[in-house]
Amino acid sequence: MPRRLTALETRIRRVLRRTRELVPIDRVQEMDRSSMLWLVRRPGRNSAERAGPSQRVLAVARHENFDTLENRVLRAYVRLARFVARRWLREHAGASRHGRARAVDAFARTCRRLDRELEALGVGVAEPGATPNYVLTEDRDYREVRENWLRLLRQETLEDDLWAWQAQSWTDFCVLAVTLTLQGMRGSELVAQSPLVWLEEARAGRRFLHDRPLAVFHLRRENLVVEVQARPDAISEMQYLTRAWVWLRLTDLSTQDIPRRMPVWTPHAFAPPPAEEAAREAARFLAVAARHRRSESMREGVVLLPAHGRSNAAEAQEAGARVAAIALGASGEPLGEGMRALADFIRASVGAAA
């Protein structure tokens, strides 16, 4: 591709755009029907008088334009290729003296230079899925650029799918952990539960299917009904504002208060994120989202993080919103500690409401 880009840099395609504009009368090369009608309607006995003091008339002018589809595809490719090249260099920082690393670095510099040149020429960036024109299918260099651009797009899509796979699996794990935590709380009575359909093979990271809500519990001491809602079919306004896929819906049977919702965020990360920072960020986010509430109250939230061998928890408050960030382990004591911390937070939340 470096050779292809160098060849295209010397012959970037351009087109002539025909526009009507006021042109000095001595530089007029072409007039169409509209410009001639404009001229004959002007006052005067000849062309010079009709041109007026500025001596300009409406005529057809041609201007070079580089913002073509093939050039937009070219710019989209060099931007994406430079990003991939820089990422490869970061991942192989120890190989900076090798010939391959130098070649990748030179290619990234070429892409950066060509991107700046195209931007200076007013070329935009093509959107994926654009229908190729004649140049993109018949010109060898432009065709190679488009084919490699599509290859990089497919590669990035595959990586996004892998990240989504792990995030979906972690969300399923957290859904079961929340359900088992509620079931193990003192005074909790299971009222109804959706049947779980376990899949023989995971679908995009999902291991089981279920109806909504997943489970309904009755907390006898607080006289509360708690519903576990996960992966809704239709996204409500509140769910859209909070970006949470798991919810606890709390209904107080002893009062006529409106139901409360507790969003449960399940971010997945390979490195253990700081619980304090996650709680503060989620509290600020929840405080903003709670201002748009309509029919249900929303004051508490939970962030469930991977424990990576050691469970910890932190809480944060912001403008009336209270959020707990809890690290859950995959098994053993880290999982037990995380579930106990989750039960304590839920108990404190429903106790405040009782």
The boundaries of the domain holding residue 224 are 164-353
61, 172: one domain? no
Nearest of 244, 245, 249 to residue 219 by alpha carbon = 249
Q: Are residues 184 and 326 in the same domain?
A: yes
Asked, for residue 346, whether it belongs to a domain, the answer is yes
Q: How many helices (H) and strands (E) does the chain have?
A: 10, 12
C-beta neighbour count of 91 within 10 angstroms: 9
* Mean pLDDT (whole number) for 205-212: 78
Q: What is the mean pLDDT of residues 271-288?
A: 84
Q: What local confidence, expressed as pLDDT, does residue 84 receive?
A: 92
Residues 312-348, buried b or exposed e (16+ Cβ, 10 A)? Answer: bbbbbebeebbbbbbbbbeeeebbebbbebbbebbbe
Q: Which of the residue ranges 48-57, 116-125, 342-351 has the most confident prediction, judged by mean pLDDT?
A: 116-125
Residue 184 included in any domain: yes
Neighbours of 265 (CB within 10 A): 23
Quick one: 53 and 191 in the same domain? no
Asked if 198 and 343 sit in the same domain, the reply is: yes
Pull the structure tokens for residue 63: 């201007």
Residue 122, domain member (yes or no): no
* Pure H helices in 185-262: 237-242
Whether 88 is covered by a domain: the verdict is no
131 CB-contact burial (10 Å; exposed 0-12 / middle 13-18 / buried 19+): exposed
4 in a structural domain: no
> Does residue 329 share a domain with residue 195?
yes
Q: Is the pLDDT of residue 353 over 60?
A: no
The residue among 139, 180, 191 whose CA lies nearest residue 4 is 139
pLDDT for position 332: 87
- How big is the CA angle at 308 (ends 242 and 333), to the nearest 5 degrees? 100
* 207 or 172, greater pLDDT: 172
Reading the block at residue 190, the tokens are 């299971």
Residues 299 and 168 in one domain: yes
- The pTM for the full model equals 0.57
Q: Could you please report the per-residue DSSP string of 6-31?
A: HHHHTS---EEEEEEEEEEGGG----
- The total of structural domains in the chain comes to 2
Looking at the domain assignment, is residue 316 inside a domain? Answer: yes
Q: What is the mean pLDDT of residues 330-334?
A: 86
Q: So what's the pLDDT on residue 294? A: 58
Q: Same domain for 60 and 168?
A: no
What's the whole-number average pLDDT of the chain? 84
The pLDDT confidence band at residue 20, using thresholds 50, 70 and 90, is confident
The reported pLDDT for the residue numbered 354 is 31
The Cα 234–Cα 344 span in angstroms is 31
Domain assignment present for residue 114? The answer is no
Label residue 352 by pLDDT band (50, 70, 90).
Answer: very low
In a domain, 159, yes or no: no
Q: What is the pLDDT of residues 284-301, one digit of tens each?
A: 888 888 777 555 678 889
In this structure, the strands spanning 206-209 and 197-203 are antiparallel
Task: Please indicate, yes or no, whether residues 171 and 59 belong to a single structural domain of this protein.
Answer: no
My answer on whether 188 and 321 are in the same domain is yes
Could you tell me if 49 and 194 lie in one domain?
A: no
Average of per-residue pLDDT across 6-19: 81
Q: Do 175 and 316 belong to one domain? A: yes
Confidence of residue 27 (pLDDT cuts 50, 70, 90): confident
Burial of 122 (0-12, 13-18, 19+ CB in 10 A): exposed
> Does 331 lie in the same domain as 184?
yes
Render pLDDT for 168-185 as a digit per residue (tens, 0 to 9): 888 888 998 999 999 888
